[in-house]
Amino acid sequence: MIKDGVITKFKADIDYYFETYAGGDIETREFTKYLSLYLALIAKRPLHPFSDDKKDEVYRLDDSYYCKGRIKYINDKNSLCRYCVCQNEGYFTMF
């Protein structure tokens, strides 16, 4: 079960992202908001596109997802990385 507080905070963080970085129309913002909620909390998939190629920014390896940028952005104000299923890319995954 997903707590209401998590959903409320996630939606507020997405709104912050759009207001700060993306702009866009309300319809696109709402579509992105609910798609992101689905991906992160229900489907357990990364918020960014991914591949099986470790050269890409977000990739899948042995049924886990890794993001090269997560360690850099996780502490940003209202970071959406907190909700993403990706793990930080560790030393062992680099080779």
Q: What domain range is 67 assigned to?
A: 4-94
Helices (H), the chain: 4-17, 26-37, 70-73
User: 1-50, pLDDT tens digit by residue?
Assistant: 899 999 999 999 999 999 998 877 889 899 999 999 999 999 999 999 99
Contact yes or no for 72/55 (Cβ under 8 A) = no
Tokens of 88: 């930080």
- pTM of structure: 0.82
- Cα angle, residue 34 at apex, residues 32 and 38 outer, rounded to 5°: 115
Interhelix angle 26-37/4-17, rounded to 10 degrees, is: 140
Number of independent structural domains in the chain: 1
Instruction: Categorize the per-residue pLDDT at 95 as very low, low, confident or very high, splitting at 50, 70 and 90.
Output: low
Residue 67: burial class (beta carbons within 10 Å; 0-12, 13-18, 19+): buried
Number of neighbouring beta carbons within 10 Å of residue 40: 21
